[in-house]
Amino acid sequence: MSLQPDPIGPVPDEMARVARAAFPKGSRYLHMRDVLGTVFADADFADLYAPRGRPVEAPWRLALVTVMQFAEGLSDRQAAEAVRARIQLTRARRRTTRRRATGSSAVTPGPAPRSTRPRRATTTGPT
């Protein structure tokens, strides 16, 4: 496995605005970024990887997630579930944003609520 440098860029203005709106009182992670800036960088881990091979996930991301997992007191399973929940939330937000951008009022595909599902024809057999 090899390390392909993936520098941490600045937080985009729109993302910072949304984060501040979502957490008006702040959060420990927003505060951590504001105070500490970049905590980990790929260069911190460069000696641990071979110069050639299949690229790995950015080690600074893995280290930061591990610190956050510890701060929240989550087991590995709980942390994985939290990540899945965030991914689902992100996807839902993107679908909503796309619908707004296109002016579509279409409902996100998925099972219809029970009350709007077509009823099955019932057969009456001999009793």
**Which sequence spans correspond to the domains of the chain?**
13-101
Q: Is the pTM of this model over 0.75?
A: no
Q: Which residue has the higher pLDDT, 109 or 52?
A: 52
pLDDT tens-digit profile of 42-95?
888 888 888 888 888 888 778 888 888 998 899 999 988 888 888 887 788 777
Q: What span, in angstroms and rounded, lies between the C-alpha atoms of 12 and 108?
A: 28
Residue 57: what pLDDT?
A: 80
